[in-house]
Structure 1
Amino acid sequence: MLPEPHRLRRRSDFSSTVRRGRRAARPDVVVHALAGAQAESLVSDPGPRFGLVVSKAVGPAVIRHRVARRLRHICAGLVDQVPEGAYVVIRALPGAATASSAELDGQLRSGLRKLNLLVPAGTSE
């Protein structure tokens, strides 16, 4: 489970990240990220913060919740690899409903690498 300090909760944080941040599209997810000087005005706690957007286009409630649980689990494993102060919003696309957890993990990591936000574990920045 993704610890509370690493979750995006406020609507303003989501909208700022999506509107002012950069994005990387993948087949089943779109990764929006706000980091560096842009995110400094928003950051109140250290550590990266993750938010999920899983719309009804993904499927019925059971499928949406399954996709959200899998994405939260993946994000929990990325906390140490994303720079402090980064805001990341992951928008699930309809294909996420049938994608495996390994595929979602690979796509999320690929999107974060494209945005230069994936730091190898154990490396200080």
Structure 2
Amino acid sequence: MPARQHRVTRGDDYRRIVRTGNRVGGATCIAHAVLHVREADAPDQPARFGFIISKAVGNAVTRNLVRRRMKFLVERGLNAGFAGADIVFRALPASAEAGFEGLERDVTRALGKVERMLAERDGQQDPAPAPGSRP
């Protein structure tokens, strides 16, 4: 589980990120979740993540399984040095039937897309590929 400094914990923060952030997702990017991304105030600020898993995903057991899998994958991204953004994952109902490999593929692809988006805004070169992503 990500450390407290890497979690979105307040409802106001969730609303701000979802309403004012950029959406990353859809059929071309990921099939199991939509990401709402808001750039952090400082690029060296630690990344924070939140998860919205609605009842449309399934019963409590299924929702918690999806949440635990996503948290594990986010932890990998944090260990790889991901920083500078607040991200809220909104799981889609398709995530209930997805295996770990499917979620892993989608989450790493989405985080890679977010890193490229942040690098473009900062005017930097392309960052290193996300762990587990394919060129």
> Which TM-score band (shorter chain)?
0.7 to 0.9
Higher RCO, Cα 8 Å, sep 6+: 1
Q: What is the TM-score normalised by the length of structure 2?
A: 0.76
- Across the aligned residues of Structure 1 and Structure 2, the Cα RMSD in angstroms comes to 2.1
Worse-matched range after superposition: 45-54 or 67-76: 45-54
Kept in 2, the 8 Å contact 1:81–1:120? The answer is no
2:88 equivalent in structure 1? 89
Q: Find the counterpart in structure 2 of residue 17 from structure 1.
A: 17
| Corresponding residue for residue 5 of structure 1 | 5
1:49 matched to 2:53? The reply is: no
How many residues align structurally?
114
The structural deviation recorded for 1:24 is: 1.3
Equivalent in the alignment of 1:31: 35
1:73-110 CA-partner distances (Å, limit 9, x unpaired): 111111143223x1000011011111111211211122
1:112 Cα deviation after fit: 2.4
The amino acid of 1:29's aligned partner reads: A
| One-letter amino acid of the structure 2 residue matched with residue 2 of structure 1 | P
Gaps of 5+ in 2: 120-126, 130-135
Q: Distance in 2 between matches of 1:33 and 1:102?
A: 23
Q: Which runs of 4+ in 1 moved over 6 A?
A: none
Q: In percent, how many aligned pairs have the same letter?
A: 34
TM-score by length of 1: 0.81
Distance 1:63 1:92 in 2: 12
Give the match for residue 124 of structure 2. Answer: none
User: Within the alignment, does 1:64 sit opposite 2:98 as a pair?
Assistant: no
CA distance in 2, matches of 1:70, 1:97: 11
